[in-house]
Chain A
């Protein structure tokens, strides 16, 4: 079990991580998901033991490994964890083999055992042909594999990844995603994986913590996040395409969305309605629940069509069966369903 108890990290007067509490069982694949600068790397570095929490505890298997309140921590090397850096941090003066072997050497593993393990990991990641090359002689994707091989070779119980795929091109990213999941099944190590890409989170995670400005906005399974977003931020951050958030305001006669009166019953003034893309329709003509918007983007995805239309302060994405008749720049009518999937208060929390 991996547990965080009110973990907080301050750099001077910047609160990089605030009061994060969560726990995942052994073998879980926890993804920390959030936009850049929300404190993901900082949290991961605290897990690795490279940073001391300013407050709170980190617990691996019932044993405290970092205690910010008492300002002590177990040495990074003794936490049974391994970290893959975003930059890979391969030692440029060592060969691929050297990079993978050195940590084992430091750990005092005997030579025959060490060589067997190095060969095994290199094979596992499909880089056994590159053993004698230096890091600057192999491609980015191969460097990535070396970094992973180096980290898993000592068989850590907790594997930490910092945006491992962000430096790869799109195709390679998809391949590596599968590879990493295979590796996770093969090693059984509890994995903490940092990313800003919600697709990675949704496809790989057993648990996701959505972070924003140092806080965990929501913690749950990928399905939880999509079906029951707890905050407006989560609702617009996850899902493909993410949900549409529409502010609903009261004027003299009723409720207004994007300049038109709508037969809606929001729980509060200024509330925001969540409409999923698949529930929006493309209407041929104006109706009681339609909004006239300017067509901005059209793209086909797996036989369906993703349509984005905009108004000065509104942006809606719908997934429909057929291509719109209108062209980009022309007006389309987007039909809203009778009830939204959820309501959020102006401050972001869910109210219905």
Chain B
């Protein structure tokens, strides 16, 4: 039977997939066709191309599908067996249309294990998950493994936490298992706050049962009977899908009392976050579940010993849990055969920024940055020159071109002054100002600092002020040293990971792009042409034809001039938004 899979992830929904789904259903029933199944899936990770429609078993990949395209797809493809060219994906590198998703280079070079179900099953139907081998791993551990065997298997797999720190998961489970306590908890960290990262969201929306199964396995291994998933408030769809999944799993007996007749009980509750990035930090997250201001607590004691309501608590990230059923099903050796010495398995990255294909990519650990950006990401947008890639979000760092061949794993990234973080990858080209990027991240961490400890509360503020000063052209030579000293002290003495890593984007850009800081300070110039205080927009008289397009688009009315006469920009009024330059067809407006 032919199947039409329509993406209903957040990205595709916002580009109109619900209407496309409706149209398919309507058109098919109008034609009395009943042997074609239409259903919604979770995110394919290629949201930029949404709405995405897949025809199975043909493996056809249609993108940016609009309602009006639907009749044609039905007539031509589903009934006529012909491909509809115009909604095929256009491969930028080779300038060719591609039919099958298996041939799209964005997918072809990925190794989608954790994401294998995303985009292919209906996340709101537990049967789909079970049909693909779901809950087999849970059955296996409950019917044939002791808790210690489970912990050992995870240890042997080499799985490390995907939430940022990269702590060995098996070891963490062992700590919780060994901790004394009559009551223990399993907590799933789904607070995904790194701006630019959305892999956890995709997994929750596209394959929620994988996370539930991973948590239940963990519960069995560490001796917990209760789990919490702490989900960002900004992810309503993920919350809804999780609610549905939990209910279905309880109905089927995969969650609840006496699972698989083993005597093991496990229940999962959802807690919605309330909008604080710092609550992704594990102790803050627990404090928040307890109903307090989400301020981190000192460690030790670690949550494994004293966690939620003082009880031993094992906390892992969404992606970490989603890896667990795979490991149990396929064995630790299989898992450990992928990746590098210290980092096993695959990692999902959220590739964004100035790159041709943006989206979620799952790749084996140890792959180089160049492969991700150029082979999968299709290279830099608009044929511009690569400048840097920021990895690990606000706690990570920027890596320059020289490090493009660095194998991506936990340890090599730390050495290079970045970190895996949750796996955000933001590609920057020559038009990106690195001082501005550092300022952007610092602005974020500064706003999100909980305010509990002095170095982070007061220090990130001062770092930001110095960066602002530099981008405004008021930087002084000693500022760079002050920044470095301050950064070092903040890292060294802050209470939690937020403060301890907040200076990373500044330190890494200072390390690899110091000259850009120096241009801002000494020459009062922004080489990338971004920092507006150091720019001036000008209209070139000989190129301006006086069309007035710029004057119409200027939000502050800074442009004046007679029709057919060269126009002029009033520098006093200009807010340097750049709209006029974008609008001018004659290249008459320049900045510098």
A-B complex is real: no
